[in-house]
Every structure is written in C-alpha cells, then in structure tokens.
A = this chain, B = another copy of it.
Amino acid sequence: MEHRKLKDQDRDVDLAGVDLEGTRGKDLLVPVIPLSTFGGVPGDRQWKRKSLVTIALTILTSSQAILIVWSKRAGKYEYSVTTANFLVETLKCALSLAFLMRIWNREGVTEDNRLSTTLNEVSVYPIPAALYLVKNLLQYYIFAYVDAPGYQILKNLNIISTGVLYRIILKRELSEIQWAAFVLLCAGCTTAQLNSNSDRVLDTPFQGWVMAVVMALLSGFAGVYTEAIIKKRPSRNINVQNFWLYIFGMMFNAIAIFVQDFDAVMNKGFFHGYSLITTLMILNHALSGIAVSMVMKYADNIVKVYSTSVAMLLTAVVSVFLFGFHLSLAFFLGSTVVSVSVYLHSIGKVRR
C-alpha cells in the first residue's frame, strides 16, 4: 500500500484558522492547533488511526466503483438516484447515532459527545450539503456540453481545485514538490482513464469548461469546508459532527427528490427498481461517506484525494480479474505517474 508513505506528511503542519461561523471579534480565528495534539491521542496511535481510515476509504471507494460496473452489467438500473442518495444520508445518520449510543453506554454523556448543540456550532453544517446539492443540479446541465466519458475526465479538475482551496481556505502549506506531485496526480489519473474517444473532450465548448471548473470548485470547496468544520472543534466527537452533517444531507436530498423525481416517486413508489445491488451500493456509499468524514477528521483533503485516486487504479486492476477488463498502455503510464506522485508527496513534506 503506497498509503503507508503518507503517514507523516502533516505531523508538523499547523491547522490555521478559518472564520467558519462568521463570528467576529474574540472568536475570529480558530486557534492554531498542531494536528498531533488532536484529542490528546499520542502520535503513534494517531498515525495508526489515520492509516486505518485511509485504507478503509481506499477499499470502500474501489468496491463502490466495482459495484457500479456490476450493476451496469446486471442491466440498466431504474431506481431514482435522488431516493438512493436520501437513503444513503439516512443510513449514515442512523449509523452515527448507533456509534454514539455505544459511546454513551461506555463513557457516559460528556460535553464532547452530547448530541445537543448550539446554533453557533450547527449553523455551518448545512453549507457542504447545500454546495453538493448545487453541484448535483449543475451536473444535469453539463451533459448538454460534454458526454459522460468526457465528464469523467473533466472531474479530475477536482484534484487541482481541492489542492488550491486547501491552500487558500485551510491555509495549510504544501511544499513545491507536493504541488508538483498534485499536478502529476491530476495528469496521471486522467492519463489512466484515456481511451480512443477521450480527445472529444478537447472540443468541449467554452460554457462546458466554465461549468466543469465551477463544479470542481463547488466540490473542492465542499470538501475543504467540511474539513474546516470538523477540525474547528478537535475534541468534539466525530459521530456528533457526522450526525449534524448528515441531518442536513437528508434535508437537501429530500429537496432534490422533490425537484427532480417527484412524479416518478409518486407514480412508481419510493423503492421502485431497487435490487440487491442497489442495496449493496447504498450500504457501500454510506460507509464510504463515513470514511470520508473520518479522513477529514484524522487526516485531510489531500489524503482523501490520494486515497480515492489510488482506489480508481485499484478498481481497474480488480476489474481485470472480476470482469476480464483489459488494461491499456495509457493505464500503465497513468498508474506510473500516480505512483511517482504518491512517492513525491510523501518525501516532499514541508520542512520548517
């Protein structure tokens, strides 16, 4: 696992503050907190936890993609995506609550793990869910300018936008080598996805490019903002933070059902077209979502991007065995570039 190499990269990086809640005055900036002090966990245990959530995210993301291939092979899927998304949020919410209950039983209710919250704390939680909603709505319009494989390629812009927003919003430093590694990650992932029709993406009209960039920024901003929210209160239990994130996720996905699939749900029913694979996909999405939150808490957006990129490559390799896929020369070249990128990221740690 190349991710082992990621272990140390931000041990020395401070979490500079962001004015998340629009509070002015004495509470303007989050204090600069060295990550190694999070939750008072010693460095070694912290590193283990970070590795664990990273590996979990990689495996979940890659099995997610495999489930998508499997469901496509099993025939066209007819369930409504918005209801599935709503169920994913609901399941995540329920799981967070279940984890919390175990903790309450074991440790009792404390200041850090109580579910009740203040308006000050909770007011920023709807923002990531709202951003994702806007991005998902935009997604319907971008297909007027690019086809689906072209969109897959343009989505790699997320890598760059996440890096840039991570730098600007979280004020975390990346070394020049880590920046170079990030450009390589984007180029390598795109190369690995190249096929004989990829050149069509170059004919994308200007509006298509603008939408792709806006969507990349929305997605990157939502990710970075989630990290800022979660890390603003390092001692707060992650399951409480998740619970509130997912409550708003449920709300915004309910809106999406009304906007996009109201008629279909009314006529055919909420669970129309659901199958075993659909259920597995929802379960997997829910677990991946929780893993992403954990990575935001114990690692960062950069680790998340690397994790999901490596997952993309793993998926392709596993698909060779499961579905008899052929790997292209472009895939080997892209994987080489991504591997070098992971290596450079790990050795390019910021020195102070």
- B-contacting residues of A (Cβ < 8 Å)? 153, 176-177, 180, 183-184, 187-188, 190-191, 194, 196, 198-199, 201-202, 326, 328-330, 333-334, 336-337, 340, 343-344, 347
Contacts and interface: CB of A to CB of B under 8 A. Distances in A.
A330 B194 contact: yes
A176 B330 contact: no
Nearest to A326: B199
A309 B177 CA distance: 22
B340 A180 contact: yes
Given A347-B176, A347-B177, A194 B329 contact: yes
Given A191-B191, A337-B187, A202 B343 contact: no
A198 to B, nearest CB: 5
B330 A183 contact: no
A190 B333 contact: yes
Given A153-B329, A180-B343, A180-B344, 12 more contacts: A177-B177, A177-B344, A177-B347, A184-B337, A187-B340, A191-B337, A194-B333, A198-B329, A199-B328, A202-B328, A330-B330, A344-B344
A252 to B, nearest CB: 34
15 contacts: A153-B329, A176-B347, A180-B344, A183-B336, A184-B184, A187-B333, A187-B337, A191-B334, A194-B329, A194-B330, A194-B333, A198-B329, A198-B330, A199-B326, A337-B337
Contacts of A334: 191
Contacts of A336: 183, 187
Contact of A183 (B194, B198, B199, B340): B340
A340 B184 contact: yes
A144 to B, nearest CB: 21
A176 B198 CA distance: 33
